[in-house]
């Protein structure tokens, strides 16, 4: 009889668990629609119509630390999103410009730390969009939604000034070079598909580690996006040199990352289009990303 009791108890517990699991149907709540004064159809991109994580606030995600020239603090050093917000840096400026376009004041913008891997994890996001030099690829588009380009990116190769590869003008001269990249960047694909040095690339957890390896001459060069390469040679590795830009058939671009199916994306695209048209994006680029012309394109 005792065995029957145990079995019955187990059954009851399991059924209860099943019921609880099936009953949990929590969908993330959309922003409450505001009251409308007019009878006409409301503008889906009006500030109060937007699909936001926290109503009335634009929550933007980026990594920690956020590097120049994308973000920088008052001293020009990498920025920590958990500290006071900054408007300095290309991505910072773009983010606030988009926010303004959408109708948010500076005070209505909030920042949150989103490590790279978290940008695409399943489940509801805790940001409205993520801005972190994320390149659009078709594969990635399957898991998240991208905005249109907010920066057309070129990849560049950085070596030490006294490296045997420092004066290369063509990609074939990199035969046998050991190149390094931070993980998760499209720079890795660029090495494999375009540069093709014949040596396996070295992949590092962070940009800092890749830069360290360059300084230690553990790699012959690193491949990063062009703006980052300026920061590296100007600040982190004064003995470094930008050898040149890597040509590519398709134009790579950075997009803002949204949760799949988020209607906010379309509104942001509208905002970006407006900023492009009225020259704001160019202006921001002039201010934060300089000397683009001084890096020759490798043959």
Partner 1 sequence: MRASGTSGGRSILIALASTVLFAVVVVLVVSNAPGWPEVQRQFFNGGLFRESLGVIPEAFFLNVRIFLIAEVVILVFALVLAILRSLEGPVFFPLRALAIVYADFFRGIPTILVIYMLGFGAPALQISGIPRDPLFWGVVALVLVYSAYVSEVYRAGIESVHPSQAAAARSLGLSRAQALRFVILPQAVRRVMPPLLNDFIGLQKDTALVALLGPVEAFRQSQIEVAANFNYTPYLVTALLFVLLTIPLARLTDWLVARERRSRLALGAAR
Using CB under 8 A, list all residues that contact partner 1: 3, 7, 10-11, 14, 17-18, 21-22, 24-27, 116-117, 119-123, 137, 139-140, 142-144, 180, 183-186, 188-189, 200-205, 209, 212-213, 215-219
Q: How far is the CB of 298 from partner 1 (least distance, A)?
A: 23
Nearer to partner 1, 107 or 261 (CB): 261
Query: CB of residue 16 vs partner 1: minimum separation in angstroms?
Result: 10
Shortest Cβ 179–partner 1 spacing (Å): 10
Question: Minimum distance from CB of 154 to partner 1 (Å)?
Answer: 19
Closest CB to partner 1 among residues 143, 297? 143
Least distance (Å) from partner 1 to the CB of residue 122? 4
Q: Which among 161, 168, 162, 89 has a CA at the least distance from the CA of 132? A: 89
Q: Strand 202-204 relative to strand 145-153: parallel, antiparallel, unpaired? A: unpaired
Other C-beta atoms closer than 10 Å to the C-beta of 16 total 10
CB of 141 to partner 1, least distance (A): 8
Range 282-291, long-range pairs (CB < 8 A, 24+ positions): 284/90, 284/93, 284/94, 284/97, 285/90, 285/151, 287/93, 288/69, 288/89, 288/90, 288/93, 288/227, 289/69, 289/90, 289/226, 289/227, 289/230, 290/230, 291/230
Name which of 63, 67, 96, 99 is nearest 81 in CA terms. Answer: 63
Of 41 and 117, the one with the shorter C-beta distance to partner 1 is 117
Q: Is the peptide bond before 69 cis (omega within 30 degrees of 0)?
A: yes
Phi-psi domain of 41 (left: phi exceeds 0; alpha: psi -120 through 50; beta: other)? beta
Of 27 and 75, CB closest to partner 1: 27
Give the separation between CA 103 and CA 156, rounded to whole angstroms.
36
Nearer to partner 1 by Cβ, of 69 and 201: the residue is 201
Residue (204 or 253) nearer to partner 1, CB = 204
Least gap, CB of 227 to partner 1 (angstroms): 20
| Matching residue, tokens 């801005």 | 131
Cβ partners under 8 Å of residue 186, min gap 6: 135, 137, 155, 252
Of the two residues 137 and 167, which places its CB atom closer to partner 1 in the complex? 137
Q: Is 223 helix (H, G, I), strand (E, B) or coil?
A: strand
Identify which of 284, 63, 246, 291 has the alpha carbon closest to the alpha carbon of residue 153: 246
In contact, 113 and 66? CB cutoff 8 Å = no
Q: Look-up: residue for tokens 């209860």?
A: 16
User: Least distance (Å) from partner 1 to the CB of residue 112?
Assistant: 19
Q: Measured from the CB atom, is 80 or 189 closer to partner 1?
A: 189
């Amino acid at each position: 009889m005792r065995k029957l009791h145990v079995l019955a108890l187990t059954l009851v517990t399991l059924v209860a668990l099943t019921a609880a699991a099936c009953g949990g149907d929590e969908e993330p709540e959309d922003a409450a629609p505001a009251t409308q004064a007019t009878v006409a159809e409301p503008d889906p991109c009006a500030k109060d119509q937007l699909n936001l994580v926290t109503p009335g606030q634009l929550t933007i995600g980026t990594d920690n630390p956020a590097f120049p020239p994308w973000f920088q603090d008052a001293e020009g050093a990498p920025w920590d999103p958990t500290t006071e917000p900054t408007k300095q840096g290309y991505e910072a400026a773009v983010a606030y410009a988009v926010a303004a376009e959408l109708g948010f004041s500076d005070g209505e913008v909030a920042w949150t730390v989103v490590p790279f891997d978290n940008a695409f994890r399943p489940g509801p996001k805790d940001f409205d969009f993520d801005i972190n030099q994320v390149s659009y690829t078709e594969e990635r588009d399957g898991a998240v939604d991208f905005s249109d380009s907010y920066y057309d990116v070129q990849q560049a190769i950085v070596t030490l000034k006294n490296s045997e590869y420092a004066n290369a003008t063509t990609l074939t001269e990199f035969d046998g070079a050991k190149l390094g990249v931070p993980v998760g960047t499209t720079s890795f694909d660029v090495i494999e598909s375009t540069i093709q040095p014949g040596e396996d690339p070295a992949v590092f957890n962070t940009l800092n580690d890749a830069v360290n390896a360059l300084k230690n001459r553990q790699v012959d060069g690193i491949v990063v996006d062009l703006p980052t390469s300026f920061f590296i040679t100007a600040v982190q590795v004064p003995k470094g040199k930008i050898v040149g830009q890597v040509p590519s058939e398709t134009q790579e671009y950075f997009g803002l990352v949204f949760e799949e199916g988020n209607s906010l994306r379309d509104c942001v695209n509208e905002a970006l289009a407006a900023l492009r048209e009225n020259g704001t994006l160019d202006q921001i680029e002039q201010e934060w990303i300089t000397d683009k012309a001084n890096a020759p394109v490798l043959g």
